[in-house]
Structure 1
């Protein structure tokens, strides 16, 4: 199977009539796939019985294309990935036995695209099926989900401080959503000492939209509103550029389980249980 990913993230069947119409007629012997990858910023994903191959041109690999490639390979059944860089005399092949290593390498090579030299502030957020939570590597998320279900998805306001401190539920990161239309910081993650260079205690009770790094916080808390409205948990993969307490920038890829706690017909508390997959210095 072949999937062609356009620079804007749109996917194409490279053998479809719509794809040929998109390009127009080049002649009988034109290799549309190689032409689009080498010259136009496309990438091609091919699935074989033993591996998944990704062909791309690092100097023409826009962020939107990279994000869709990541989204697609997360669903691939094969763990072995072959990356083929084209656009040079020799096309280097790199083989990865782990999809997270392959994603990290794609991210590093994509930095060669001139228009994308500045790292994007907005995070990449990919919804995941809740069926994935049964995997052994997500045992901590499964424990949190089981405890949440055992509590019948309901808590009292008196219990929320205890939930915020419980490592089962992520050890913090609790928000209060009065009326379902606001998202207020109820408790900060216990691993935080400072937030954007300021003591985290200053932000307790503030709306997420008023925090200094709203470009990161607003997209990542959209799932809170969805979970509060549906009263159902959500599982997501997030990749974002972050700043440590020492001021160093790093990429963090993590999964998180979003759990809504109903305290009244109009109020919901949300806790976020993280599972870090990769940390990489910029």
Structure 2
């Protein structure tokens, strides 16, 4: 199976009628897929039983295209990844046996496309099946899920603080969702020491849309709104560019279990239980 990914992240089946109708006739013997990768900033992902083959042009590899490639790889991790750099005469093929190495290599090669210090602010977010909680590697998430079920997903305003500080819930973030149409910071993750140059308390009660790094925070809270609306937990995998207290930047890949808590007829809280998978310096 081959997927064609456009510069804006849209995916196409290059052999479908929809694709042909959208792009129109391109010549009887023309290879439009190869032309798109070579000249238009597209990428392809072809999946085989023993490996996944990715073709791209490093000089024409937009951020949105890379983000979709990463999302597809994270949702279906292959046993082996072959990277083919179109337009490179020297060693255009690279074979990587580790997904983390492949993602790091893609990031490094795409730097040829980025202007200056431009780096994507929005995280890559992939929804995972809750069946993954059965894996022993996710024991901490299993405990949080069990505690949530035992409490029947109901809380009162008196024990909101207990959830925010309980080690069972990983010391993750807690948000208040009044009317399920706003997301207000109730408690920061316990791993946070400050928020930028300001104390954390300065931003308690703030709407996420008003925070300084809303480009990162707002996309991560979409899962909160989905969980509050459905009253069902969600498991997500996130890869994001973050900034440490000393100003250095790093990539962090982590899973999080999003748990909705009902406090009233239309008054909900949502907590996020994190599980870090990888930290890599830029």
State the TM-score, normalized to the length of structure 1: 0.91
1:155-194 equivalence runs, <5 A: 155-194=155-194
Contact 2:141 2:273 in 1 (8 A): yes
Deviation at 1:24, TM superposition (A): 4.2
1:1-282 alignment runs, 5 A limit: 1-76=1-76, 78-114=78-114, 118-282=118-282
- Structure 2 SS opposite 1:240: strand
Secondary structure, in 3 states, of the residue corresponding to 2:59? Answer: helix
Is the partner of 2:75 in helix, strand or coil?
Answer: coil
After TM superposition, the structure 1 stretch with the greater mean CA deviation from structure 2, 126-135 or 159-168, is 126-135
Contact 1:3 1:14 in 2 (8 A): yes
Shift in CA distance, 204/35, structure 1 to aligned 2, threshold 3 Å: same
In structure 1, what is the Cα distance between the partners aligned to 2:80 and 2:190?
37
Deviation at 1:17, TM superposition (A): 3.8
CA distance in 2 between partners of 1:198 and 1:19 (Å): 50
- Measured in 2, the distance between the counterparts of 1:268 and 1:255 equals 22
Q: C-alpha separation between the residues in 2 aligned to 1:88 and 1:115?
A: 20
What RMSD over aligned residues (CA atoms) do the two structures have, in Å? 2.1
In structure 2, distance between residues paired with 1:90 and 1:28? 31
* Gaps in structure 1 of 5+ consecutive residues: none
Q: CA deviation at 1:114?
A: 4.0
Q: Is the 8 A contact 1:63 1:116 kept in 2?
A: no
Structure 1 residue 63: Cα displacement: 1.3
Q: Secondary structure at the match of 2:137?
A: helix
Return the alpha-carbon distance in structure 2 between the equivalents of residues 123 and 75 of structure 1: 15
Change (3 A) 1:143 1:204: same
